[in-house]
Each structure stands twice: as structure tokens, then as C-alpha cells.
Amino acid sequence: MNRRGFTAVEMVTVIGIMVLLVAMTVPAIGPGLQRGRVNDGANAIITAHSQAHLLALTQVDPNKTAKNQYFVMIDYETAGSRYVVTVGVQENDGSLTVKRTLKLHPGVSVYRKDIELTSPLTWNYQNRTGLLMPDDTSTTMTDIATFSDPTKELSVRQRGNASKVRANIALYGPGVAHAQDG
């Protein structure tokens, strides 16, 4: 007897094996997604750092009188329950111009020295040099030498499970940055 197709038993067996394989892979996907979200957040901060540094180096005022400072600001947006990384410039007249905004995934938090950011964290880059500067535009060399770098000990972590999934961020003055799993 020649028959074509599959019997019900064969079909149920194949479907059962497929369900078993899917059930085994689902737990392995979750941590990978969490790690991806944390790394995306760290990379957004690194991208903002590099872009602000590059803008500070390349945007030259022809009269060389500008005291513009390019900045990076990390702030918590309550409407979207997420952190927002902003790159911008403070013009001579004190006005702020936003150049780029990067939104982090709602499932991640930004920390500095093991404390979650609850207020904006801002750092500036000097026009034409790209040096990391204090917020005050009237700084002296002594102020710069004793200035506490706001970018030290930054990390991005999975919200609610801070100790398990994290990325430590190292931002360096010359526009170089690095993220490492914590």
C-alpha cells in the first residue's frame, strides 16, 4: 500500500520535539537581551562623548573669539521612564543648542560610583582643544588641575538587577572611550 503524507502520530512527535527545543532555548535568550540593552546604553554614552569631543575640536570660530563649550548631559526622562543622553553646545550668549539626543532602553539605569543618577550629569569640552572642562567657563589652570572628572566610575546596569548585568565605562580626554563588562 502506497500512502502519501504523514500520520497524526508522526506529526505530533515532530511538533513535540519542536516545542521541547524552543522551551530549552528561551531561558538562554533572556540574559543575552539584557546584556544587549546594557551594552547599547554604554555605547550611546561613548558615542555622545566621542561626538562632543569631535565637535569641540572641529567647530572653529573664524574670529577665534568664541568660548563655546560642547557638552554631554545624561538625564532621566520621567515621561518615558528612561535615561536620555544629549550632546549640545552652549553658545556665547548662554543659549543651549542640542546637536543629538540618544535615548537609552527603559530597562537600564546609569550609575556613577555605585549610585544611580537621579539628577542630570553634565560634562563639557573646551572649544578648539576638546579638553574636558569644569562647568564654569571662567576656569583657571589651577581649577582644571583640581577638577573632579564627572565621567569617572560611570556604569550602565540592568534595572532591578544591578549586580548581575552591567557595563563599566571609561571615557578619556582625547575622545577615546571603552566599555567593559562588569
Query: Model confidence over 11-60: pLDDT tens digits?
Result: 999 999 999 999 998 888 888 888 889 999 999 998 998 888 888 888 76
Distance CA 43, CA 56 (A): 20
What separation, in Å, do the N-terminal and C-terminal C-alpha atoms of the chain show?
65
154: number of Cβ within 10 Å: 23
Distance CA 154, CA 114 (A): 8
CATH of 8-181, one of 3.55.40.10, 3.30.420.340, 3.40.1280.10, 3.90.25.10: 3.55.40.10
Summarize pLDDT for 112-142 with one digit per residue, the tens.
Answer: 888 888 888 888 887 777 777 765 544 444 4
Q: Dihedrals φ, ψ of 102, to 5°?
A: -120, 130
pTM, 2 dp: 0.75
Handedness of CA 108, 177, 74, 150 (dihedral sign): positive
Rg (CA), the chain: 24
Pick 156 or 68 by higher pLDDT. 156
Q: How many residues does the chain have?
A: 182
Q: What are the domain boundaries of the chain? A: 8-181
Distance CA 44, CA 41 (A): 5
Place of cell 562632543: 52
Pick 21 or 90 by higher pLDDT. 21
Q: Which residues pair with 85 in a beta bridge?
A: 74, 102
Summarize pLDDT for 137-168 with one digit per residue, the tens.
Answer: 444 444 444 455 667 788 898 887 655 788 88
